Structure 1
Amino acid sequence: MKEKILFFTDINKNMVELVGGKGANLGEMTQAGFPVPPGFCITTEVYNDFISDIDLNGLDAEQAQEKLISAPLPDYFSELLNSALTKFEPDTLFSVRSSATAEDLLFASFAGQQDTYLNVPANDIEQAVCKCFASLYTERAIEYRKKNNIEKASMCVIVQQMVFSDASGILFTADPISGKRHVEIIEAGFGLGEAMVSGKVTPDRYSYNKKKGTLIERTISYKKIAVLPLKNGGTVTANINSAKQVLQFPQIKELFDLGEKLEQHFGMPQDVEWAIQDNKIYILQTRPITSLYPLPNFEDEDFHILICIGYVQMNTAAFSRMGGETFSFIFRRKDVHITEYNSELISLIGGRLFSDFSSLFNRRFYRNLALKILPEVEPLTAAALSEVFSKHAKFHKKKIHFPKGLKTLPIKVIYRFLKGNTLNTVEYAYKLIGEICDKRSLEILTAPAGQQRIKAVYDNMKLIDIVVNKFAPLIGTSMLALKMMKRLEKNIFGEELYTPYVESGLEGNITTEMGLMLGDIADLANQHEGVISELKNPNYATLNQRIYARNDDFSEKWAEFIDIYGCRCAGELDISCPRWRENPELIAKQIVTLALGKTLGDHRDEYKATVKKAKAKANEFINQVQLKAGKRKARKLAKYVRIYREVFPIREHMKYILVRIMDSARVALLKEGADMVRKGQILRAEDIFLFHYKEIYEAIEKGYDLRDLADERREELRYWNKLNPPRILTSEGECIMGKHTLKNVPTGALVGSGVSAGTKEGKAKVVLDPKNSVVEAGEILVAPFTDPGWTPLFINAAGLVTEIGGKLTHGSVVAREYGIPAVTGVVDATKKIKTGQRIRIDGTNGYVQILE
């Protein structure tokens, strides 16, 4: 039989199910020799016995608590409690605190959310225990468990000898605001810690640099009150009105040293509660700082800069482990065995992809180059990087081995630009799609089951040669043409009058063509009886089968769309995300919205009008340059315009190739996952994506049971999804998000970057998940980010606002080609703007106004 009461001396960190997270940590610290006041845990066994005969069905939170507080404890409890209390002096007072199995955990701390009772006499402990048990059913505790997918929780109660503290507070072994791991923070107040925890007093604050061993900040506050213990039990709030410093340097140093030892013992930064009585420091509890963004293990002491790829790729959702690794395969330089693979350029940290180009930034040339390129891609990332460069000039020195062909890329770009031969570029890109995708997909899908199938995915996802040698020179040429175009325009006119229009209405972009084809399908839906009702049927798993059974021109067009674009989805660069061919819900919903809200052929007419306007503006641009600067400059401009408009559309073709091959890899991996399910190694085929390729490769050979590890990885992925990834993460742990520079912006406007010219007023439609939303004609789409999987929502959208992105990201490119204004990089746009609010967006100057 499990113990009902355990003293701290008998508890370790692995006993969470019995004593909760808080109790396990107190026991672990006690056994490790930290100065913890003595005490014991009333284990979850007592709670389970207590709750087993109580019916809470149909009761709300308040009623459940009332019933639990008045319920009797198990018959055996009083005798066990009294026996435990004999270890203390008769007049000892205690703190009685809850320790739920769902708090003070690695991925969720839930600090201070359940009950604590201070200065409790022995006779009152049983009542305090009932109140602690009842605190598991407060509204906030219930909501917390729902939010964190905690289906079952139990409760332990901690009974600990009271510390009559002269001073108390919190110690963070890393800075929870900046994320810096080498900075410790102490917040201190007089008396018990309750006044500080409840926010009734402003504490003194001390910051300490672990590396240098020096105090870097000391802020002494004016403290009006303190919570003090009463001699016979209970507490009182007293007016103290003191500006006196709470701690002296020896106490500060001792606390910081204890913090470092706790961090080393638990292997991660800690949030520590402490108290001082008669000049002796006590640790009351410790928990992980779950708000910190994770850091990888660095092999050196150099300063590293990690750039988050998600902001550049317009997807900041957490990747699965296999998803992150599959993406890194694209840029694989060496041909090493799958079990020895370790990405040189890309790391998965907190579920997000980061690149470490630190060694390049030791040279001013590369620092300047990054600050020239990044503003076009993701301005806030450029701002964050600039902030780092303003503070640091020396970085990690290990040489980066770039893929073959990258060093000569600038030469190839300049050569193509000077030659100016761009005819049939789009046709060339489509030809590459056929050649590359067909060959690689066939190799993946026909590979024998088992390790050979895993290796086929690994081998065929290496696409760096295609990226660097086939597409990058062409796209670089178009970007150089645009740069030269803008420079010429600024020299002659002093401002951008024409280029925003020249950038719009490009022809041949595969993602734009996808949206137009979707509009064609919506037209057909209107012309065929019964199609709309089929598309509205929520059984999307059978939709493809039902549509194909129609055997008419609508089903042919639908089949063609799925064949070409069914490999896409929102979050498509993560191989774990289901594709449209698997779940066409978004497509079906948007077709219905389009079909019911548009006139036949509208989408094609609007697109043609945008293209016509862009070409007219380009001609006007060339003519005005000829009038003001002569024929020679006009001929140069005509070349720049032609190169840009003929070449830039293939930017999305390159990504399409990656996604198409990744889709075949997903099919193969799900088949392997199904085989592993049959062998009892995992529960669901899609669980395969929770692992690294090496883990699956070895599990296939050795028959490992991965089911328990899959559960842990699922929990890990949930935690990752809650994290807000920084644009720049340094090796010190600092998280930098970047800030906009305010220029000529109306008061109260939300600032971003103008990426598609024009202004528009309309009702906002805030969309967090494209699968569950539609955009009505005339609505302005407000989203955290967009990738090609969001494109169906663009067809009706009158404008676009996103929280991340720049001129070269997906949403911006598609917005320009559809001729709708767009503003990206609007921080917290989906929180500040509500669906239905009337807003005005200015895609030329880069801001959004909320009108109502």
Structure 2
Amino acid sequence: MTFNYIMPIDAKDVSLEMVGGKGKSLARMASAGMPVPEGFYLTTAAYKDFVEKNDLQKTIINLAKPEIIGRTLSFESAAKRIQELIKEAEMLNEIENQVRQAYGLLDGQDPPVAVRSSANAEDLPDLSFAGQQDTYLNVRGDEALIKAIRDCWASLWTPRAISYRHQMGIEQDVVAMAVVVQIMVPSDVSGILFTANPVNGERSEFIINSSFGLGEAVVGGQVTPDTYVVDRKTKNVKERIIGPKAQKIVYRGNQGTELQDVSEKERNKSSLSEELLKELSSTALEVENLFNGVPQDIEWAISDEKLWMLQSRPITNLPPQPIEVIWEPTPPARILARRQIVENIPDPCSPLFDELYLTEGLESPAKGQKRKSFFVGAGPMFVTVNGYAYQRFDFPQVVDIQNEIDKAETEEEKEKVISRIWQQWDDLYAKMRDKSDSAMEQHDLELFLSELSSEDLKAFNEWAKETDFKDLAHDVTMPNSRNPTYTAFNKTQTNENQIKGWKEKAMPDLLATVEEWQKFDYKTALDEELLRGIIELATAGGRYWSSNASHTFGVAKSTDDQLQAFLRETLPDHNFISGHFLSGFKSKTLEANEDMYKIAKLIQADNELFELMVTTPPKQMMNALQNHPNSGPVVKAIEEYLEIYGHLGYSLDFVEPLPIEDPSGLLISLKTMITAKDYNPNKHQIDAAGKREQAMQKIEPLLDGLQYWQFRYRHWFTHRFYFIREEVMFYLTSGWPTLRLLARELGMRLVDIGSINIPDDVFYLDTEELTRAINARKENSAIKEYKQLTAERRELREARKRLHPPGTIPEIASNNPGVAFKETQVKNDPNSDILKGIPVSPGTVTSPASLIKSPAEFEKMQPDSILVCPMTNPAWTPLFAHATGLVTDMGGILGHGSIVAREYGIPAVVGTGTSTQRTKHGQTIKVDGDAGTVELILDE
């Protein structure tokens, strides 16, 4: 009989399209002589002919679309109907006959077989289809085998499988199913082996999970198996954890399997001997070598001391190889903190950004100026350690303090030094605060009074008549405090002059440079001109920040800090924070969200567009919109939105794509808006404003006399300058769209000549290296070693992303008074379930956590959950529509997340340092935005 649907298990020259991912890897192992159970493949041709002859394809594709239930997607109904079609359709005689014939050729009478699905889209790089299609064990006899094959075909259309393909952008009309049929291995022990540690990426370790019985108990998570960590080179066990192995899967008579309890005595035994562990590890290494050294996820079984390989696939989402690092600055830098502009650079810096922005750009205002360095040892203000950006705190006073702390030999002595220095600083700040500038303070008081209502002004004047203060203006405008925050930006004229410099000099200078290069014809430009544009735009961005914008930003931050300090010192028992009184005001960020909401309403008004947005994967959404006949106004509105806000990226580092290039993040946010029940940003603002009024009503009876008017003044003063934070930050990356255009053009040219692999590799070279590549291109040659160099640097950056940079370097510097009051990451006890942070938006909430570590995970955001993330910037704002609270690793009182949380009226605690490490997605946590704590609740 001719087998046009059947291939032997050790077939050579098989393809993914013929036998699917599982089948292809099995064929490779079997043909190489690996211990693979006997069997055969029913190829995808059988599935395709079955579908074609029963005229099912068109119906299946029409059905394989999500159904909108409420405002969420469901594939349940589609899956049920498709599976019914497949199970009811007539099996082709030719397929059935060939299966019977192939089965009859296996050893034994009606031998028990495993029937496994093998789709042509599974086990591809970066995709994981594990567990999405079905496997049938201990199948005996022709009829049972034919039924199992039909069930495998039907499992191509489970809700989970359809949903995953939809989410990953895999067209439903290209998928097909092969079936693997193999003699069952009556396993005594079975499990999984990873040829690299799937948790931390360590390539020197094998991880083995094993248990008694058939392997599905381990694969399906039905038992807690034994775990062995094995050294790749020596094959010796580095760590051994004996799991309870309470149950095992065994044969159930002549058909199927069942779960059986394991005896107490057997549970405590190691499921694998030293000899079997070494044999298993050695065989696994052979398998990995067979697949060109790609780390493998291997299913195996042992029966009567014989080892069998059942399946092998690449480990999906394997982390980069971990790296060992030391958190030490490069001299002359000594004391560092993750603060200021660094708060906008959550990831390791790309080499080009490190050079052009962090070093050259931020230092550019000081270039050519003859002035004494701020720092002991001179050098730049910003540096990187293991790729992460830090601000230096090597000011003479801070270094002197650190020297004293370092000299202390015991913890008790260190505490005494720190306590004494705090007292000295308190005295110093008190003297600075008490320096009265009568004219400016009188000006500020009069300005404040001029903006009071007539009723409030009358109340103030009546109170003032009753007082006998020698300097009323000073006492009202400058609270009696030793907090250092009152020493800067404490006068309206000072602050307004700072803002004026930003409006009239810093911002126009930056925009002029951006506009100049926007007009530039980069397509016809010389390579050198492209590089010059990249340098000038990056430098202009850095100059904008360090010449003025950082200080203008500091106006808003300092005034907010001053209100916070006043509340904490005046009413220490009431947990008031500045966020109580700054909620519900307009801001640049809220304007962007309102503009996005206008687009959402356009979509909601058209049922077809609504359905398209809800049912289309983000990466395909823009293209789908552009091709829809009704979408003209929506597409135009999105383009206009991106023209205004598309430069607001997810990181300050220009290595990251911007929304104007890849709007999928924006489209996810739009989808979130249109599917959110009763979402309206204006309602959030109204609710937040209502909470602000409630806080005002609560605090006013607690204050009288001078303290009451000090609060009223401080609130007025803070609100007066609150707006400037978002204005300053809005322009921070305004040059990046043009810079990335120039870089991409240069990158494509260097790809064409053979110097780099992809255009974005330009960000992994410095300007000297780029100049060398440009000069080589003039000679029609390439710097070929740059391909490996950029690949290594890219891989290093990815590995560094898994590091957790300390808030200060050295960590003991967090106790230094010169650093502590500026820190944006609180040091927490790793063993405590209570994380401390900075309280920035009031209220208390207990909800599940949505752990979102990057924009790539935006779709994980769940309604009515607490957003837990490294930090936020304007690109994250739409997630707040679903959030009941906010927790971040890094941040301060005037960070983006703080402002938006206040606008939305949700509790927020920032700067916890380790929240993204300590919290699991979906875990219940409690956020107290008044006390500044996050409680990690162990879910039962």
Fold-level match, TM-score > 0.5? yes
Structure-to-structure mapping, 1:334-345, within 5 angstroms? none
Instruction: Decide which moves more: 282-291 or 17-26.
Output: 282-291
Whether contact under 8 Å (1:568, 1:659) holds in the other structure is yes
SS at match of 1:449: coil
Mark the CA change 1:486 to 1:68 in structure 2 (over 3 Å): closer, same or farther: closer
Mark the CA change 1:485 to 1:597 in structure 2 (over 3 Å): closer, same or farther: closer
Letter in 1 for 2:736: M
Letter in 2 for 1:438: A
Q: CA deviation at 1:284?
A: 0.5
Mark the CA change 1:324 to 1:77 in structure 2 (over 3 Å): closer, same or farther: farther
TM-score for both structures, normalised by structure 1: 0.59
Q: CA deviation at 1:21?
A: 1.1
Whether contact under 8 Å (1:195, 1:201) holds in the other structure is yes
1:130 aligns with 2:146: no
2:759 and 2:507 mapped to 1: Cα distance? 29
1:89 aligns with 2:107: yes
1:168 and 1:85 mapped to 2: Cα distance? 25
1:756 is aligned to 840
Mark the CA change 1:213 to 1:469 in structure 2 (over 3 Å): closer, same or farther: farther
1:29 is aligned to 29
1:277 aligns with 2:303: yes
Q: CA deviation at 1:49?
A: 0.6
Mark the CA change 1:456 to 1:130 in structure 2 (over 3 Å): closer, same or farther: farther
2:271 is aligned to 246
Q: CA deviation at 1:176?
A: 3.6
1:259 is aligned to 284
1:164 is aligned to 186
2:497 is aligned to 424
Instruction: Decide which moves more: 240-249 or 155-164.
Output: 240-249
Letter in 1 for 2:515: S
1:106 is aligned to 125
SS at match of 1:137: coil
Letter in 1 for 2:194: F
1:65 aligns with 2:83: yes
2:136 is aligned to 117
1:811 is aligned to 896
Q: CA deviation at 1:285?
A: 0.5
Q: Tell me which of 637, 652, 662 is aligned to 2:736.
A: 662
Whether contact under 8 Å (2:195, 2:297) holds in the other structure is yes
1:787 is aligned to 873
1:72 and 1:429 mapped to 2: Cα distance? 76
Q: 1:756-791 CA distances to partner (integer Å, 9 max, x unpaired)?
A: 254479999999999xx9xxxxx9996566423566
Q: Tell me which of 138, 151, 158 is aligned to 2:171.
A: 151
1:823 aligns with 2:908: yes
Whether contact under 8 Å (1:174, 1:183) holds in the other structure is yes
SS at match of 1:41: strand
2:17 and 2:882 mapped to 1: Cα distance? 51
SS at match of 2:24: helix
SS at match of 2:732: helix
Q: Tell me which of 877, 882, 886 is aligned to 1:801.
A: 886
Whether contact under 8 Å (2:226, 2:271) holds in the other structure is yes
SS at match of 1:185: strand
Q: Tell me which of 437, 446, 454 is aligned to 2:520.
A: 446
1:186 aligns with 2:186: no
Mark the CA change 1:833 to 1:467 in structure 2 (over 3 Å): closer, same or farther: farther
Q: CA deviation at 1:155?
A: 0.2
2:251 and 2:690 mapped to 1: Cα distance? 76
Letter in 2 for 1:657: Y
Q: 1:647-693 CA distances to partner (integer Å, 9 max, x unpaired)?
A: 998665664333221244578899999x99xxxx9xxxxxx999656
Whether contact under 8 Å (1:109, 1:287) holds in the other structure is no
Task: Tell which has more relative contact order, 1 or 2 (C-alpha 8 A, sep 6+).
Answer: 1
Whether contact under 8 Å (1:168, 1:192) holds in the other structure is yes
Q: Tell me which of 574, 577, 584 is aligned to 2:659.
A: 577
Q: 1:283-320 CA distances to partner (integer Å, 9 max, x unpaired)?
A: 1001233254x31797xx867999999x976799x99x
Whether contact under 8 Å (1:821, 1:841) holds in the other structure is no
Structure-to-structure mapping, 1:536-575, within 5 angstroms? 542=633, 566-567=645-646, 571=650, 574-575=656-657
Structure-to-structure mapping, 1:398-477, within 5 angstroms? 424-430=497-503, 431-449=505-523, 455=531, 458-463=534-539, 465-466=542-543, 469-470=546-547, 474=551
2:930 is aligned to 843
1:48 aligns with 2:48: yes
SS at match of 2:35: coil
1:358 aligns with 2:386: yes
Mark the CA change 1:536 to 1:40 in structure 2 (over 3 Å): closer, same or farther: closer
Q: CA deviation at 1:545?
A: 8.1
Whether contact under 8 Å (2:557, 2:725) holds in the other structure is no
Whether contact under 8 Å (2:36, 2:308) holds in the other structure is yes
TM-score for both structures, normalised by structure 2: 0.54
Whether contact under 8 Å (1:259, 1:272) holds in the other structure is yes
Whether contact under 8 Å (2:851, 2:920) holds in the other structure is no
Q: CA deviation at 1:823?
A: 0.9
Whether contact under 8 Å (2:136, 2:148) holds in the other structure is yes
2:549 and 2:721 mapped to 1: Cα distance? 11
Q: CA RMSD of the aligned region, Å?
A: 6.9
Q: CA deviation at 1:48?
A: 0.4
Q: CA deviation at 1:577?
A: 1.0
Q: 1:153-205 CA distances to partner (integer Å, 9 max, x unpaired)?
A: 21001122332322211112334445544443222222322343445544322
1:440 and 1:655 mapped to 2: Cα distance? 16
Larger radius of gyration: 2
Letter in 2 for 1:787: N
SS at match of 2:509: helix
Mark the CA change 1:569 to 1:11 in structure 2 (over 3 Å): closer, same or farther: farther
2:258 and 2:662 mapped to 1: Cα distance? 63
Whether contact under 8 Å (2:868, 2:888) holds in the other structure is yes
1:763 and 1:66 mapped to 2: Cα distance? 39
Letter in 1 for 2:95: F
Mark the CA change 1:451 to 1:481 in structure 2 (over 3 Å): closer, same or farther: same
Mark the CA change 1:194 to 1:823 in structure 2 (over 3 Å): closer, same or farther: same
Whether contact under 8 Å (1:312, 1:809) holds in the other structure is no
Mark the CA change 1:830 to 1:164 in structure 2 (over 3 Å): closer, same or farther: closer
SS at match of 1:126: helix
2:88 and 2:250 mapped to 1: Cα distance? 29
1:391 is aligned to none
1:807 and 1:166 mapped to 2: Cα distance? 57
Q: 1:335-361 CA distances to partner (integer Å, 9 max, x unpaired)?
A: 9xxxxxxxxxxxxxxxxxxx9723999
2:328 and 2:8 mapped to 1: Cα distance? 46
Q: 1:539-593 CA distances to partner (integer Å, 9 max, x unpaired)?
A: 885479899xxxxxxxxxxx9x999x54555748654413999999979999x95
2:836 and 2:85 mapped to 1: Cα distance? 53
Q: 1:587-609 CA distances to partner (integer Å, 9 max, x unpaired)?
A: 9999x95779999xx989989x9
Mark the CA change 1:606 to 1:330 in structure 2 (over 3 Å): closer, same or farther: farther
SS at match of 2:733: helix
Q: CA deviation at 1:251?
A: 0.7
1:728 is aligned to 804
Whether contact under 8 Å (2:301, 2:310) holds in the other structure is yes
Letter in 2 for 1:428: G
Q: CA deviation at 1:247?
A: 1.2
Whether contact under 8 Å (1:515, 1:792) holds in the other structure is no
SS at match of 1:659: coil
1:666 and 1:831 mapped to 2: Cα distance? 37
1:764 and 1:830 mapped to 2: Cα distance? 8
Whether contact under 8 Å (1:174, 1:270) holds in the other structure is yes
1:5 is aligned to 6
1:484 and 1:792 mapped to 2: Cα distance? 26
Q: 1:458-494 CA distances to partner (integer Å, 9 max, x unpaired)?
A: 3444237426742587489879979998999999999
Whether contact under 8 Å (2:841, 2:907) holds in the other structure is yes
Q: CA deviation at 1:44?
A: 0.7
